[in-house]
Amino acid sequence: MTKNIKWKMVLIVLVVGFALWLSYPPLDVYDKEGKVTEEGKINLGLDLQGGMHLVLKVDTAGLTPEEAKDAPDRALEIIRNRIDQFGVLEPSIQRQGKDRIVIQLPGVTDRERAINLIKSSAHLEFKLVSDDAELLKKAIAGEAVPGYGLKTMKTRDKRTEELLVETKASLAGDTLVDATTEFSQSGFNQPYVSITFNNKGAAAFAELTGRNVGKRLAIVLDGNVYSAPVIREKIPSGRGQITGNFSVQEANDLAIVLRAGALPAPVEVIEERTVGPALGKDSIRKGIRAIITGGICVLVFMATYYMMAGFIADFALILNIILITGALSYFHATLTLPGIAGLVLTIGMSVDANVLIFERIREESRLGKSLRAAIQSGFQRAFLTILDANITTLITALILFQFGTGPVRGFATVLSIGILSSMFTAIVVTRVILDLLTTIKGGLKKLPMMQFVKASKIDFIGKRKIAYIFSIAIIVLGMFTFAKRKEQNYGIDFTGGVLQQYRFETAVPLADIRRVLNELGMEGLAIQQFADKKEFIIRTPEDNSMQIQVKFNASFRDNKLDVLRIEKVGPSIGKDLRGKAIKAVLFAMFGICLYVSFRFEFRFAIAAIVALFHDVFISLGAIALTHRELSIPVVAALLTIVGYSINDTIVVFDRIREDRKLMRKATQKDIINASINQTLSRTLLTSVTTLLVVLALYFLGGDVINDFAFVMLIGVIFGTYSSIFIASPILIDWPAKRVR
């Protein structure tokens, strides 16, 4: 064993050991009673543990330029204080752009309470109530009463009372310093909010109450009258009470927003994604099952096909997964459901480097080289191809991270880490093991491998026109259907609206669901039912989820209803997401074009880009033909197809570049045909291993990510096809003069 091998082995052991230390245990460890005994090192996204994702827009209309500039930051701090007092563990609150705030609340599923707590302006006012019965009658009749406004207050017996309240506030709540929940000393033990003013506010409150003994004083919060007690005497203490028909939770929340202070400007929820804990647990279970199943299929296939070399590749693949989990823990990255898809995809794609190396070793062995020489030459010849193929995929992942939202960024993060770690395990780990096995006494002399795809001499270039016609026909059919469906192609991510997913304990006929919705006046809604008719998705233009839940609980009392997720996207953010998706695709294409032009020639870049558009258009057509919808995860799948397809294409291009130096007297057609045939085995094997994990994701990953897996399935198949029949033949047909 050489000194070089020893140092590499030490490096591998240290890196893998550090990754294990960082990531153990990766997920929460539970005892028999279901309690967490040890927290996992990997952060789980809201789609895996349940919680809320909100995007707020701060409405600065009506503020001065200076106030408008500071309003988002002030609003962020006030909201942060409210959430901290709300008791959410590890919330994420960040400013985004000019006037937006992004909030993530892990574990929070009481969406109505959370939204009310965050959105409440907490604008507290004290206004005198008119005791003139005639003026009150005029206001109720619809007549305008100068200086007064008609307000409705809920009484303790859950009735309503009409009050004529002064328009101008006698005292504002900006001098408030504290608010706490307390309980009345009466037998009802009714909760109320006790408020305390500072010295200035206490003096103003004492003057107000002393001047208006015997009158009613309305306590108004955000335009709503909570109580209107009669002033019995002057109150010099600077303390008051807000009473009303409160529950303990409502009183606590009111105290929280008053303590945190009033928002400088109104905020609007323009995007909301709420995931129930039940759906999160399902996603984790199905995602892990897909990873294990896809991983086992790949391991078995590699061990069977490449024998000893396959076992080495399997070992490298296991180390690859350890390194990915270690990196996720180290960078405190968040694992989302698309991130699990990225992990599954990484398993399939990480085998690609080993396949390239093993096929090169096979070729070098056929030339009569010894095993050690074949291994050395195989790694040298495969290195640049692996580098080019992975850099182009990495470009796509980085662009996806730049333009994507939370879950998609999680996917891009896992994919980026997976690309880098798979290069390390393939180039370093596999090489060290092979060198070790060939240098030890009595070591390997041969490296037997199976070969399903023998050396072929298929005239792919001669069949290019048939392929062109076939591709054009499929693209025209798909794009015609896509254009015909118009807005139906887009999910709520891009059009705006509300997606609501529910689960009943026992199956409910679709006709019964429609009947209940029709009773609410919601005819013609899009309803998707699955999971043995127990789960269903409703798409509505407005957020009426609370109304629907109340009606379902009343109509199906003996059938437990779980809220799995609520996703709300405003039209403005839907438009932004659509623009970002288009930018992401175009920038990915541009980045790949630049890199391919730099590494090869400009016409190679053009051929690659045409093939990429070919794959994207076919995938879009497949979405339209199967009546699926474009969503953020589907855009992630499309960009992954771009990365996967260019990966395949680069391998063929790299061989063409190499063969042009070796086959100087051959025609361009012969060189390209020879290159495609030489890399055919690798192309098909990589497609098979990737398809194994994508199929596992499609059948076992769950309904939430099924569209993503479907698009990936189409993309892998046609990405392989386009590398052979589209990208390479274009080098013959464009530009004609140069090719001749």
CA distances to 246, 462, 524, 607 from 740, rounded to whole Å, are 85, 16, 61, 17
Q: What is the pLDDT of residue 187?
A: 55
Find which of 81-85, 103-107, 466-470, 485-489 is predicted with most confidence, using mean pLDDT.
Answer: 466-470
Q: How many CB atoms lie within 10 A of CB 693?
A: 28
- Residue 319, SS3? helix
Domain with CATH 3.30.70.3400 in the chain: 51-110, 497-569
Class of domain 51-110: alpha beta
Q: What is the pLDDT of residue 736?
A: 45
Q: Which amino acid is at 714?
A: I
Q: What is the pLDDT of residue 415?
A: 85
Q: Angle at Cα 235 formed by Cα 229 and Cα 238, nearest 5°?
A: 105
Closest CA to 455 of 259, 295, 674: 674
- Residue 192, SS3? strand
Find which of 152-161, 271-280, 578-587, 607-616 is predicted with most confidence, using mean pLDDT.
Answer: 607-616
Q: Span 124-262: which CATH code?
A: 3.30.1360.200
The phi, psi pair for 168, rounded to 5°, reads -85, 130
The phi, psi pair for 104, rounded to 5°, reads -125, 125
pLDDT band (50, 70, 90) for residue 621: very high
Give residue for tokens 């400013």: 95
Q: What is the pLDDT of residue 314?
A: 93
d(CA 426, CA 356): 10
Q: pLDDT tens-digit profile of 421-445? A: 999 998 999 999 999 998 887 778 8
Q: What is the pLDDT of residue 394?
A: 87
Domain with CATH 1.20.1640.10 in the chain: 277-453+460-485+574-739
Q: What is the pLDDT of residue 129?
A: 92
d(CA 544, CA 530): 22
Residue 613 burial (C-beta neighbours within 10 Å; 0-12, 13-18, 19+): middle
Buried/exposed 506-540: b ≥16 CB within 10 Å, e otherwise:
eebeeeebeebbeeeebeebeeebeeeebbbbbbb
Q: How large is the average pLDDT for residues 173-200?
A: 83
- Residue 326, SS3? helix
| Number of residues written out for the chain | 740
Q: Which two tokens stand for residue 151?
A: 């307000």
Closest CA to 426 of 312, 532, 516, 300: 312
Tell me the torsion sign for CA atoms 601, 605, 607, 608: positive
* Top-confidence residue, 200 or 575: 200
Contacts of 635 (CB under 8 A, 6+ apart): 404, 408, 581, 584, 585
Q: pLDDT tens-digit profile of 682-733? A: 888 888 888 988 898 889 887 777 888 899 899 999 999 999 999 999 988 8
Q: Which amino acid is at 532?
A: D
Give the helix/strand (H/E) hosting 481.
helix 464-485
CA distances to 81, 106, 269, 487 from 84, rounded to whole Å, are 5, 13, 19, 41
521 φψ region: left (φ > 0), alpha (ψ -120 to 50), beta (else): left
Class of domain 497-569: alpha beta
d(CA 713, CA 710): 5
Instruction: Report the percentage of the chain scoring pLDDT > 90.
Output: 27
Q: pLDDT tens-digit profile of 636-684? A: 788 778 877 888 888 899 999 899 888 988 888 999 999 999 999 888 8
Q: What is the pLDDT of residue 380?
A: 92
Closest CA to 75 of 95, 92, 61, 89: 95
Give residue for tokens 């600077």: 238
For the chain, what is the mean pLDDT?
Answer: 86
Give the helix/strand (H/E) hosting 538.
strand 535-540
Q: pLDDT tens-digit profile of 487-530? A: 889 888 888 889 899 999 999 998 999 999 999 888 888 888 87
Contacts of 222 (CB under 8 A, 6+ apart): 120, 121, 122, 123
Q: Give the max Cα distance, the chain.
A: 110
Q: What is the pLDDT of residue 443?
A: 76
pLDDT band (50, 70, 90) for residue 737: very low
Report pTM.
0.79
Give residue for tokens 């769950």: 702
Helix-then-strand count for the chain, H and E: 24, 21
Closest CA to 638 of 595, 588, 696: 588
Closest CA to 734 of 657, 668, 677, 674: 668
Q: How many CB atoms lie within 10 A of CB 417?
A: 25
Percentage helix, strand, coil for the chain under 3-state DSSP, each rounded to 5? 60, 15, 25
What pairing do the DSSP bridges indicate for beta strands 334-335 and 43-44?
parallel
pLDDT band (50, 70, 90) for residue 454: confident
Q: Does domain 277-453+460-485+574-739 have CATH number 1.20.1640.10?
A: yes
Q: Which two tokens stand for residue 334?
A: 């968040």
Identify any residues that bridge with 128 across adjacent strands, giving them in sequence order. Answer: 217
Q: Which two tokens stand for residue 172?
A: 């504002």
Q: Rounded to an integer, what is the distance from CA 285 to the centroid of its chain? A: 18
Q: How large is the average pLDDT for residues 168-196?
A: 83
Q: What is the pLDDT of residue 740?
A: 40
Q: pLDDT tens-digit profile of 295-351? A: 899 999 999 999 999 999 999 999 999 999 999 888 887 787 777 777 777 777 778
Contact 568, 271 (CB under 8 A): yes
Closest CA to 588 of 408, 457, 429: 408
Closest CA to 239 of 157, 180, 290, 161: 180
Q: Which two tokens stand for residue 125?
A: 């006012």
